[in-house]
């Protein structure tokens, strides 16, 4: 968390607020989050202009006019704000990027699992090489039930973990995998190689619809996530299975159960997910 819909909303907001802006100064208050932050101070970002913001999986890239890019990942608790200089720094804000128009890009992360790095090779819509091994985008034409089926038939592990494998398809995190499998009435514990082509087609179609709806709702706020303007994601109000263990299934009235799969809490209905 944040997952794909949340990253997409952050990216759209940043495109509106800092795209076209010129960097005036970089301040680093903490030596590192997931990776060191101090290299930002000597990266020569002053005078660079932001020419584009785009998403790949749960990463964002802010393309600079010199062909480099600022690569961002939000870990478990990353929050981005764009605010004026008059707003005091918060305790867990680790980086300020000042723009010549007085705005400040502020990166907060209480758990320090987030990432902000400068990478080459980001000109003209490209992404840095460190993202080369990522799978297809779930909102792209490349993503299909046939693609899932070809990968799943080689796997004996559970279907939920396969659906969340970023080497196959990116950005279907824990929340959205739970919701997708529930809508398709597929038990998350079922072996991936036991999922039929027809079911894979349903999974691909449903995952795409759920992600698009979550983007429309501004993402999902369970605990930490906030959009750039400070608002919370409203898709939490539409969750049907995630976090609802012990409650009644909205489809068949059985009691929703939970299990740990791949180190993550998984929620399912034993009555209608087979």
Tens of pLDDT, residues 37-55: 999 999 999 999 999 999 9
214-217 contacts at long range (C-beta below 8 A, 24 or more positions apart) = 214/5, 214/176, 215/5, 215/8, 215/9, 217/5
Higher-pLDDT residue of 54 and 236 is: 54
Average pLDDT over residues 181-194: 98
Question: What would the pLDDT profile of 131-169 be if each residue is shown by its tens digit?
Answer: 999 999 999 999 999 999 999 999 999 999 999 999 999
Lowest-confidence pick of 128-142, 159-173, 188-202, 228-242? 228-242
**What pLDDT does 199 receive?**
98
Residue indicated by tokens 């944040």: 2
Active-site residue list: 2-3
Question: What would the pLDDT profile of 103-129 be if each residue is shown by its tens digit?
Answer: 999 999 999 999 999 999 999 999 999
**What pLDDT does 146 receive?**
98
**What pLDDT does 218 receive?**
81
pTM above 0.75, yes or no: yes
**What pLDDT does 227 receive?**
67
For residues 138, 79, 265, 238, the Cα torsion angle rounded to the nearest 10 degrees is -70
């Amino acid at each position: 968390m944040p997952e794909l819909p949340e990253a997409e909303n952050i990216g759209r907001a940043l495109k509106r607020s800092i795209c076209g802006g010129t960097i005036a100064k970089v301040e680093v208050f903490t030596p590192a989050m997931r990776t060191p932050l101090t290299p930002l101070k000597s990266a020569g970002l002053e005078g660079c202009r932001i020419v584009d913001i785009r998403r790949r999986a749960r990463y964002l890239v802010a393309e600079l006019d010199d062909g480099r890019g600022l690569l961002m990942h939000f870990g478990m608790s990353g929050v981005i704000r764009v605010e004026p200089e008059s707003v005091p720094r918060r305790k867990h804000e680790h980086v300020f990027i000042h723009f010549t128009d007085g705005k400040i890009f502020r990166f907060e992360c209480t758990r320090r699992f987030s990432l902000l790095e400068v990478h080459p090779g980001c000109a003209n819509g490209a992404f840095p090489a460190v993202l080369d091994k990522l799978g297809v985008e779930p909102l792209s034409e490349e993503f299909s039930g046939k693609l899932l089926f070809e990968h799943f038939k080689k796997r004996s592990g559970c279907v939920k973990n396969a659906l969340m494998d970023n080497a196959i398809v990116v950005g279907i995190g824990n929340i959205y995998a739970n919701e997708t499998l529930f809508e398709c009435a597929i038990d998350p514990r079922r072996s991936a190689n036991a999922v039929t082509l027809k079911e894979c087609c349903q999974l691909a179609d449903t995952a795409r619809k759920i992600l698009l709806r979550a983007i429309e709702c501004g993402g999902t706020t369970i605990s930490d996530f906030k959009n750039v303007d400070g608002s919370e994601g409203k898709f939490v109000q539409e969750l049907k299975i995630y976090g609802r263990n012990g409650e009644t299934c909205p489809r068949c009235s059985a009691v929703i159960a939970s299990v740990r799969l791949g180190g993550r809490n998984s929620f399912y209905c034993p009555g209608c997910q087979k």
